[in-house]
Amino acid sequence: MAEWEEKLPPIMREKLARIGEVTPEEKESMKEIEQLTSILSEFYKGKLNPEGLWKKLKEYKDKGKGHLLKEAQVKLLDSLTLAGDAVELQKRRRGILAIETIKEDQNTAILEQSLNSIEGLQKRYLEELEEAYSSLKAQVERNPQLRMQQVQQGQTSTVMQLTVEEAIKNSAEWKNFAANHEKGYSQEFAKVVDKLKNELK
């Protein structure tokens, strides 16, 4: 077994065994994806900045492996999350745009527009969440009754006093808002990310 095969997750190795002999092209492609994943891992950990990522991927392009540029951008997009922090989003944004400058056929303006949409969406999602939390917090602080919770212990029930944060997190109002808020924004976020993937060449 080749060294790169040993590094594959057991499920992948099992699939490889079931498929039978992998063609040299497929082996090469898998090896390339593994190397790309390793480079991106260094980028996520901060061992590579966007310029370093650009240099590494420029080498791929110079070796005639330009198809991996789009793959790298898709992987960067897949690593974005709705509730991710602004610093991580900026880092990935710079990575995606740096890779775009290596390509022959660039789509930078459209990519920037879509990345701005993702940024705006993330910001609105967090602001609305914070706003709802603050509003509920004010209610709980004004009304001490909202901090009381009845707890059943065997045959007896006791009343416990919750902290403001516990009272908010346990309230049906917060749970419903958080779930609906997450669902709506997640769908919108997925659409914007898919649209951006389609804009990659």
112, part of any domain = no
pLDDT of residue 190: 94
What's the whole-number mean pLDDT along residues 118-139?
Answer: 94
What pLDDT is recorded for position 154?
Answer: 75
Asked if residue 114 belongs to a domain, the reply is no
Same domain, 49 and 8: yes
pLDDT for position 99:
94
Domain that holds residue 39: 1-106
Q: Are 122 and 82 in contact (CB under 8 A)?
A: yes
Averaged pLDDT score across all residues of the chain: 88
Residue 182 token pair: 């997450």
Average pLDDT over residues 73-92: 91
Contact yes or no for 118/193 (Cβ under 8 A): yes
Do residue 133 and residue 100 come from a single domain? Answer: no
Assess if residue 111 is contained within a domain.
no
- For residue range 143-187, what is the model confidence (pLDDT) as tens digits? 888 888 877 777 887 878 888 898 899 899 999 999 999 999 999
In a domain, 113, yes or no: no
Any domain includes 22: yes
Closest by alpha carbon to 35, among 8, 64, 74? Answer: 8
Q: Is residue 192 part of a domain?
A: yes
Q: Last residue of some domain: 106, 130, 163?
A: 106
Torsions phi, psi of 151, nearest 5? Answer: -120, 130
- Together in a domain, 126 and 167: yes
pLDDT at position 3 is 67
54 in Cβ contact with 101 (< 8 Å): yes
Domain end call among 69, 84, 106 = 106
Query: Residue 82 burial by CB count (10 A; 0-12/13-18/19+): exposed, middle or buried?
Result: middle
Is residue 2 predicted with pLDDT exceeding 70? no
What pLDDT was estimated at residue 86? 86
The structure tokens 């009381």 sit at: 148
Q: Which residues pair with 148 in a beta bridge?
A: 161
CA 38 – CA 3 distance, rounded (Å): 15
Query: Is there a single domain that holds both residue 32 and residue 80?
Result: yes
Question: Over the stretch 28-64, which tens digit does the pLDDT of each residue have?
Answer: 888 888 889 999 999 999 999 999 999 999 998 898 8
Backbone angles phi, psi at 154, to 5 degrees: 65, -125
Mean of the pLDDT values across residues 2-20?
70
Task: Compute the average pLDDT of residues 129-145.
Answer: 92
Tokens of 193: 């990310």
pTM for the model stands at 0.75
- 23 and 78 housed in the same domain: yes
Is the CB of residue 140 less than 8 Å from the CB of residue 147? yes
**10 inside domain:** yes
- 92 in a domain, yes or no? yes
Tell me how far apart the alpha carbons of residues 136 and 141 are, in angstroms, rounded to a whole number.
Answer: 9
Same domain, yes or no, for 126 and 93? no
**What is the domain count for the chain?**
2
Q: Same domain, yes or no, for 62 and 124?
A: no
CA separation for the pair 143, 158 (Å, rounded): 20
